[in-house]
Amino acid sequence: MSAQDPACQLLARQQDNYDALWVVGPPIDSWLVDRSAGVVSGDHDVLIEWATKGKQVRTPFDIATDDALGNGQDKDIVLFWPKAHQLGIWWLKWLCEQLPSGTPFDIVGAHLGGIKRVPQMLEELGLPWDKRDNARRCTLFASHTVALNSASGSSDTAWQTFETPGLTLVSHPGVFGHGKVDEGTLLMLESLESSLPKKPLKVLDMGCGDGIISAWLAQRGHLVTAVDVSAFAVEACKRTLTANGLEGRVLRSDVFSALEGEQFDWIVSNPPFHKERDISYGPSQRLISKAPEHLKTGGRLVIVANGFLPYPDHLQRAFQDFHILADNRRFKVYTAKQLSR
Ligand SMILES: C[S@@+](CC[C@H](N)C(=O)[O-])C[C@H]1O[C@@H](n2cnc3c(N)ncnc32)[C@H](O)[C@@H]1O
């Protein structure tokens, strides 16, 4: 199996230099999975791919596996530069905090993804750099960790707090919205204010992002479970709940994967329809088709979506009926009831 992703093809040219490859924030590429010993990622799909092949996996927030990177001396660590530069800077700081000063690591990325700007960012953080290779419209740099100075700030400074009416939101570069409250989410919350029962419900927030829906529901006394495929979103949602003095269960899950056999009174979601920059209806389709199994009899699914998305057809197939709770021309809020099983 040869590397398919261009950044992995560039790494493949250097593979004799890598004995124990630990990749940070990589794309899914079979060659890379086979070639590496472990992965650090916030992406559930990536973690599952590596775990399925028996490799070591961790998110940057797994305290229990904190020693996975060890002192880094016996590992060849490669950071894949993400499209969101602020997230890339966060990973650089995280590596500097996790590993002893002077631990070597490489950074690889595509020219289209902005890798050529990385040397400037490294210099601003006081990290050295050296260009190692360049091919497939990608570049590979070598660097090593340093003790960050106070001007650089810790990785924790990337967590930002935003005020919305009635709630404080905590977010991180790369988490949906990041400081902007989605117009569709707002429309859904407004329409729920009058339709949501006052008695405490067991509610699932599917694709929680920074946790705005979870916090809004928990603030109204409901028992919230929040899930998201991104470990950064899971951490953001936990921090949002804490910032508002609220409680909830927050899990990393690919749609319902962490919730086997569980049922809820309501499922509320602003479902994803993008993966990176591509349109992908897969998760939202799975959410709608599997929702009846995860709702108690009489339970409700409430979702918001751009008017052009094909959700009415999916809802009709899964629930045989649905209603429009709100419609502001750009967004529609749909609700469907689980009548029997
Ligand atoms: C449109 S955003 C909504 C975020 C937040 N609930 C809000 O209303 O602002 C969709 C969220 O779904 C998450 N997501 C994407 N694919 C998913 C999947 N397969 N399973 C669970 N969550 C997913 C994304 O990470 C993102 O946080």
pLDDT for res 150: 85
DSSP state of 211: S
- Average pLDDT, rounded, for the chain: 92
Q: Is the C-beta atom of 226 inside 6 A of ligand 1?
A: no
pLDDT digits (tens, 9 = 90+) for 130-152: 999 999 999 999 999 999 988 88
Domain with 134 in it: what CATH number?
3.40.50.150
Is 211 near ligand 1, meaning CB less than 6 Å away?
A: no
- pTM check: above 0.85: yes
Ligand 1 within 6 A of CB of 95 = no
Mutate to test the pocket of ligand 1, among 176, 217, 268 (most ligand atoms within 8 A of CB): 176
Average pLDDT rounded to a whole number, residues 256-266: 97
Containing structural domain, residue 202: 159-337
Given 110, 144, 178, the domain boundary residue is 144
Closest ligand 1 atom number to CA of residue 230: 25
Atom 6 of ligand 1, residue of closest alpha carbon: 208
pLDDT in tens, 270-292: 998 765 555 566 899 999 999 99
User: How close is the Cα of 277 to the center of ligand 1, in Å?
Assistant: 14
Residue 153 lies in a domain: no
Least confident interval from 81-90, 220-229, 307-316: 307-316
Q: How far apart are CA 110 and CA 239, in angstroms?
A: 32
Residues 120, 220, single domain; the answer is no
Q: Quick one: 131 and 181 in the same domain?
A: no
Could you give the CA distance from residue 204 to residue 214 in angstroms, rounded to a whole number?
Answer: 8
Q: How many CA atoms lie within 13 A of 237 on its CB side?
A: 31
Q: Give the separation between CA 111 and CA 105, rounded to whole angstroms.
A: 19
Which alpha helices (H) appear in the chain, and where do they start and end? 6-13, 30-35, 44-52, 85-98, 118-125, 183-195, 212-219, 231-243, 282-290, 311-319
Residues 125 and 63 in one domain: yes
Q: Which of 119, 144, 169 is the last residue of a domain?
A: 144
Query: Does the Cβ of 250 fall within 6 Å of ligand 1?
Result: no
